Amino acid sequence: MLILLPPSETKRSGGVGVSIDKAAIIWAALEPAREVLYSALGELCKNPDAAAKALGLGKKNLHEANLNLELLSAPTMPALQRYTGVLFDALDFDSLSPEALRRADQQLFIQSALFGLLPSMQQIPNYRLSATSKIPGVSLKKLWTEAHAEVWPRLIGPVLDMRSKSYVELNPVPADRESKFMEVLGQDGRALNHFNKKAKGAFVRAALENGLGSFAEVPEVAAKAGLRAELTEQQVLLHVPDGF
C-alpha cells in the first residue's frame, strides 16, 4: 500500500554537507518540471518584494526566499526529517524504529510543490514553495499534473491519499487506481483543522511501526494510534476522540 502525505511550510534547517543529487531522485520523468521551477524561482527570488508576494512571505520570514537561490548547493536531509509542523511532529521521525524507516522508504511519499511526488526518505534541501504560491509564468497544477502522468504507472499498490486538497490538485490520483481519500472528523462529525494534522501524523506513525498492507488493516492501525477508522467506497473516515 502507498501512503501519500502533504508537505509542510515549516522545515528544519541544515542537513549533511552535500548538495541535491539529481540521480538519487528516482522519478527521472519529473526532472524537467523541477528544472522549470528551479529556474523560475531563481529569477523570482532575486527580487525580494516580488518573491514575498508570490511566496506568501511576511516580515518575519522574508529571508526564506534566499533558500530558493541555493537549491542546488544547499545541504540536504531526508524529506521525512526535513518537514516539521503538527503532522510531522506527531509522526516523530527521530524516534522511528529501523523497521518503520524501512517501511517509510518503500511505502510513504510526500507531495512537494517544488520536487513533485517524493519518496519520503529522499534527500532534499530546505526551500520555500507551497501549492498556493503564484510563480510568474508557471501553473503548478498544470506543470505537475502533466509531469506525473509518467510516474503513476510505476507505482504499485492501492493508494491511501492523506494529502490536503491543494496538494491533491497538483497530482490527482488517476481514476483507474484503487484509492481512498482520508477525511479526519471530530466526535461531532465535523472536519478538523489542527487535530486533523496531529491525527494524520499519529496514524502514519502507527502504520510505519506496525505495517499497513491493505485498506482492510486501516481500522486496526487507527486503533493503535488511539483513533477510529471507518471505510467507505471512496474514503477513510478517521474519527478523533475528545481530548486527543
Domain regions of the chain by residue span: 2-239
Query: What are the cell numbers at 85?
Result: 509542523
Farthest-apart Cα atoms in the chain, separation? 51
181 contacts 229 by C-beta, under 8 angstroms: no
Please state, in angstroms and as integers, the Cα–Cα distance from residue 52 to each residue in 7, 44, 57, 225, 229, following that order: 20, 9, 5, 39, 40
In what order do the strands lie in the sheet containing 108-112? Answer: 116-119, 108-112, 2-5, 159-161, 179-185, 235-239, 228-231
For the segment 137-156, what is each residue's pLDDT rounded down to a tens digit?
999 999 999 999 999 999 99
Q: What is the DSSP letter of 109?
A: E
CB 24 within 8 A of CB 76: no
**pTM for the full model?**
0.94
Q: Alpha-carbon distance 120 to 81, whole Å?
A: 9
The pLDDT value recorded for residue 28 is 81
pLDDT band at 55 (very low <50, low <70, confident <90, very high): very high
* Helices vs strands, H then E, count in the chain: 9, 9
- Cα 44 to Cα 31, 41, 50, 100, 175: the distances in Å are 20, 5, 7, 39, 35
pLDDT of residue 242: 85
All residues at 6 or more sequence positions from 122 whose CB lies less than 8 Å from its CB, including other chains: 24, 25, 26, 78, 79, 115
In this prediction, residue 18 carries a pLDDT of 76
The pLDDT of 86-109, averaged and rounded, is 97
70: region left, alpha or beta (phi > 0 left; psi from -120 to 50 alpha): alpha
Contact 193, 81 (CB under 8 A): no
pLDDT for position 132: 94
